[in-house]
Structure 1
Amino acid sequence: MLVMPRDAVMGVDIGTSSSKGVLVGLDGAPIRSAVREHTPTRPGPGRFEMDPSVWWREFTELARELTAPGDTGVVAVGVSGMGPCVLLTDEHDAPLRPAVLYGVDTRSVRQIRRIEERLGAEEIIRRGGSALSTQAAGPKIAWIADEEPELYARARRLYMPSSWLVGNLTGNYVLDHHSASQCTPLYDTLACEWYAPWAAEVAPGIELPPLRWPGEAAGTLTARAARETGLPAGIPVTTGTIDAWAEALSVGAQNTGDLMLMYGTTMFLIHTVPEPLTSPSLWGTVGALPGTRNLAGGMATSGAVTNWLRDLFTGTDHTELTRLAAESGPGANGLLMLPYFSGERTPVMDPDARGVIAGLTLSHTRGDLYRAALEATGFGVRHNIEVIEAAGGDIRRVVAVGGGTQGSLWTQIVSDITGRPQEVRTTTIGAGYGDALLAAQLVADVTVEDWNPVREVVTPDAQNTGRYEELYALYRRLYPQTSSTVHALAALQER
């Protein structure tokens, strides 16, 4: 008997440390997944870049691996990627240089000051939704124009990882509204369109892409892309978006009052609000769905610190270190960490911040250090939540997603520190699953509630909250007490 392939959708996300693909049935059940690891280049202090050829090569490898068994037929594709990133191409759409990555790349401080002087810091927040920071794409473009003027003179188009994949898959030059809203100050978040006067000021000569919403079709797969990926020509491809927003969609965290916590290499927070809100310490953006607005935050490191510790402690893995951290207990036996190992984004907004580990003695163990890193993320989340609410946010539900939700310890620590329950959905594999959901919605009538119901709710443990109240007060004091010292050290690191 002839067995017909099962219809499926594919989602691919280009992340900081890996590209991940997932094949999902139209019922929401994951069929298989695949990963390709990579490492950004670091050409200088505070600089993080990536060759875009990695993105397309890994997409084609993932597509072929996911479909190799031949038991599925892909009917739509969704994409996302880290961002906002800046990839500039020439008149032939050839990349001119490696892409400058999002807020982990802190090179654009001088450009931020200049743009603020020209356009006005308060007016940038009002129209652009966010204060200029090293997260924003606009100053990164200005850095290239300042430091590499001959190269910039040849620049014609702006891409991010998701739009680069879309361009290779469909031949179309488009970007989603949410990604555009992180191109501060090029995008008007009040009008939801590019703001031509500021675009001409900050990114002269760049043909900015037409805008669509992440779930809209960007086009269909070309014959050339079909040959390179093994996917069927003519299937629809979503416009896509930045990874954290795809993750929020994957767990249904897009309703007013929702807060998504993304446990990954970095920690990301997205709060959905009924109307535009702004804060000098957060990012005000348009959402992933038409008509939605967000107040968002992001820590420069979270999983990156635990990965660093794993690599330092040769011969151990995250499972073993998590077991040791659980044995360490709340407070990590008197250790306190500032997780600013790559500077810090919100709400500190300090690219020259650095990591601090306070209270070390000769008796402290690997488990204590790992526990302190997990707790540092929790303290950073609480700090962001307090600033979100001070800006007018109203957090009614917290939904967790990402690799860090796989074990219970990290999410439990964050709930204990913040005093807030967290919903964990059945599938928490991340942005690729959200990409697949948007792809499925191009061809079928599906909802996230059908695809991905709630699996558990992590509730705060009252026995730990008192200890964490004391430690959180110390955490908030530690940065201002050490900032002048770490700033001086950061300057030495740049020599």
Structure 2
Amino acid sequence: MTQYVVGVDFGTLSGRAVVVRVGDGAELGTAVHEYRHGAVERTLPATGEVLPPHWALQMPQDWVDVLRHAVPAAVAAAGVDPGSVIGIATDFTACTFLPVLADGTPLCELLPDVPHAYPKLWKHHAAQGQADRINALAAQRQEPWLQRYGGKLSSEWQLAKALQVLEEAPDVYARADRFIEAADWIVWQLAGVETRNACTAGYKGVFQDGTYPSKDFLSALDEGFGDWVSKVDGPLSPLGGRAGSLTEEAASWTGLPAGIAVAVGNVDAHVTAPAAKAVEPGQLVAIMGTSTCHVMSGASQAEVPGMCGVVQDGIIPGLWGFEAGQSGVGDIFGWYVETLLSGGRSHEELTELAAAQKPGAHGLVALDWHNGNRSVLVDHGLSGVIVGQTLATRPEDVYRALVEATAFGTRTIVDALESSGVPVVEFIAAGGLLRNRFLMQVYADVLRRPISVIGSEQGPALGSAMHAAVAAGAYPDIRAAAEAMGKVERNVYVPDPAAADVYDRLYAEYSALHDYFGRGANDVLHRLRALREEVSR
């Protein structure tokens, strides 16, 4: 009998399920379920309370609804017998983090009028003050784990978000028996058992060399934070491992057979690497969407400035996984079109007009920090900058400059890896922005290197399905699954030498602005943020 697996990708605004044939990775059916509440960034749904700046929450029920709606719809679209499905796996944005009771009940279901009781979405950046204190103390104490994160922990990661809960809502912190990544919480709902995956623990939870940060360090941040590890600790499960079996309740949601394999949770970007056959050292995968996450495996550990994390076995067993990222990419283009242009021009129109220009013709350089900087500065207090505008500047000029800025941000990350002794031998692109061929060519020109492309529109969901196949025993490991089920097209975009020459000059200007505004020569962006928050209170 032909066997199938289901991968479910939980994104920022929706969840997607895909049904994949185990033998060759053929994607036979897919379905999307939009979250009813989307990303909660302005007001709390239960009360209408206006949220402070830089908050981003989600609703757990929206995630369960993906299992109820997208999974059965994908199976129906595939036209396969649900009884032939042997496993299900999920991936999630991260760090998306929530406080729960010991049985997994989210505290927001018990305290719907308390913002800190809700899951904090990956792009919740209101804990930057806590992150600054964590980083200062870790540097002062020379904590050994700090360099595994490029010298700074992000405000997006677990420690900063949890410390913010403790300091601003101590009752919520005290009532929470556990804090858990959404990637593990959704597996809990499917399999009925709590598990902790090695990926999010390492990259988002500062689990290194078999331990979390010490109680002494945590207590020095806040006396009440000394018990933090007890709220997240537990045996870590390997990627591709079997977390448990599908419960009867979850079977009723999904329409799948009870008892099939449920794989250990994972992060959306990290599962995409094997889906693109990137299982060897030096193959960098950029998952390009609302934000971009850059993941790559290396043969050995190295200290790279501004990395989101360097974790042993973090992506592919036996290798060191490197993660970097940009907090805003597609979101920046969307902001420009939908907010500044108020819908006056579409992405397609602006792309066509921008593509007709020669590199450098608009006279602009932009910094891609509209949602802060994740790598290499690790500072979400930064904001976007556009230099060179005149009364002759047209909308398509700015649009192109913003596209180029995100490409320059990616080049900064690639340069940081290579200058630290971690060679990038292949650049592979995945994600929704692949549809924009102009954008992809700009990236090839800016990077001065060919760009390969994943052969799937559902990279994370396909990667999850592959992990489900491993968890179900269809393949011995993720390398074998990648060989049979992964998809990649090599060197789809090749740099234009003349364009690359111009972009070298523009990148030099970008780098000068990057260091001037981002490394303390002029702290105006932080001062403006502080003023905004002061007058918004």
CA drift of 1:285 comes to 2.3
Other-structure match for 2:18? 22
Match of 1:436 among 465, 472, 490: 465
Counterpart Cα distance in 1 of 2:411 and 2:427: 12
Secondary structure class of the residue paired with 1:447: helix
Secondary structure class of the residue paired with 1:47: coil
Counterpart Cα distance in 1 of 2:227 and 2:434: 40
Counterpart Cα distance in 2 of 1:115 and 1:464: 40
CA drift of 1:427 comes to 1.6
Other-structure match for 1:342? 371
Counterpart Cα distance in 2 of 1:315 and 1:29: 40
1:110-259 to structure 2, matched below 5 A, reads 110=130, 112-114=132-134, 116-117=136-137, 120-125=141-146, 131-185=152-206, 187-188=207-208, 190-191=209-210, 194=212, 197=215, 201=226, 203=228, 205-259=230-284
What TM-score, normalized to structure 2? 0.85
Secondary structure class of the residue paired with 2:226: helix
Cα–Cα, structure 1 residues 159 and 55, in superposed 2: closer, same or farther, change >3 Å?
Answer: same
1:462-481 to structure 2, matched below 5 A, reads 462-481=497-516
Cα–Cα, structure 1 residues 348 and 128, in superposed 2: closer, same or farther, change >3 Å?
Answer: closer
Q: Residue 124 of structure 1 aligns to which amino acid in structure 2? A: W
Secondary structure class of the residue paired with 2:201: helix
Task: Indicate conservation of the 8 Å contact 1:48/1:101, yes or no.
Answer: yes
Cα–Cα, structure 1 residues 70 and 265, in superposed 2: closer, same or farther, change >3 Å?
Answer: closer
Match of 1:450 among 474, 478, 484: 484
CA drift of 1:398 comes to 1.4
Counterpart Cα distance in 1 of 2:499 and 2:463: 34
Q: Residue 323 of structure 2 aligns to which amino acid in structure 1? A: A
- Are residue 100 (structure 1) and residue 135 (structure 2) matched? no
Match of 1:80 among 73, 91, 95: 91
Secondary structure class of the residue paired with 1:153: helix
- Are residue 410 (structure 1) and residue 470 (structure 2) matched? no
Task: Indicate conservation of the 8 Å contact 1:213/1:288, yes or no.
Answer: no
Other-structure match for 2:46? none
Task: Indicate conservation of the 8 Å contact 1:83/1:101, yes or no.
Answer: yes
What TM-score, normalized to structure 1? 0.92
Other-structure match for 1:40? 39
CA drift of 1:244 comes to 0.8
Task: Indicate conservation of the 8 Å contact 2:30/2:77, yes or no.
Answer: no
Secondary structure class of the residue paired with 1:41: coil
Task: Indicate conservation of the 8 Å contact 2:57/2:124, yes or no.
Answer: no
Q: Residue 310 of structure 2 aligns to which amino acid in structure 1? A: G
Counterpart Cα distance in 1 of 2:174 and 2:167: 11
Task: Indicate conservation of the 8 Å contact 2:153/2:378, yes or no.
Answer: no
Deviations 1:394-420 (A, max 9, x none): 111111111112232222111111111
Cα–Cα, structure 1 residues 67 and 358, in superposed 2: closer, same or farther, change >3 Å?
Answer: same
Counterpart Cα distance in 2 of 1:162 and 1:276: 25
Match of 1:421 among 444, 450, 457: 450
Other-structure match for 1:270? 295
Match of 1:318 among 333, 347, 352: 347
Unpaired segments ≥5 residues, structure 2: 42-50, 108-116, 219-224
What is the root-mean-square deviation in Å for CA atoms of aligned residues?
2.4
- Are residue 71 (structure 1) and residue 110 (structure 2) matched? no
Other-structure match for 1:494? 533
Cα–Cα, structure 1 residues 121 and 133, in superposed 2: closer, same or farther, change >3 Å?
Answer: farther
CA drift of 1:428 comes to 4.0
CA drift of 1:293 comes to 0.9
Deviations 1:224-276 (A, max 9, x none): 11112222111111102111101112102231111111111111112211122
Q: Residue 376 of structure 1 aligns to which amino acid in structure 2? A: A
Task: Indicate conservation of the 8 Å contact 1:215/1:239, yes or no.
Answer: yes
Counterpart Cα distance in 1 of 2:244 and 2:361: 52
Counterpart Cα distance in 2 of 1:196 and 1:221: 36
Bigger mean CA deviation after superposition, 40-49 or 411-420 = 40-49
Secondary structure class of the residue paired with 1:99: coil
Deviations 1:15-37 (A, max 9, x none): 12322221222221111222233
* Equivalences, count: 488
Task: Indicate conservation of the 8 Å contact 2:67/2:253, yes or no.
Answer: no
Q: Residue 532 of structure 2 aligns to which amino acid in structure 1? A: Q
Task: Indicate conservation of the 8 Å contact 2:14/2:33, yes or no.
Answer: yes
Secondary structure class of the residue paired with 2:302: coil
Task: Indicate conservation of the 8 Å contact 1:332/1:369, yes or no.
Answer: no
Task: Indicate conservation of the 8 Å contact 1:131/1:279, yes or no.
Answer: no
Task: Indicate conservation of the 8 Å contact 1:125/1:278, yes or no.
Answer: no
Counterpart Cα distance in 2 of 1:70 and 1:347: 42
Q: Percent identity?
A: 29
Counterpart Cα distance in 2 of 1:308 and 1:106: 20
Other-structure match for 2:333? 306
Bigger mean CA deviation after superposition, 389-398 or 379-388 = 389-398
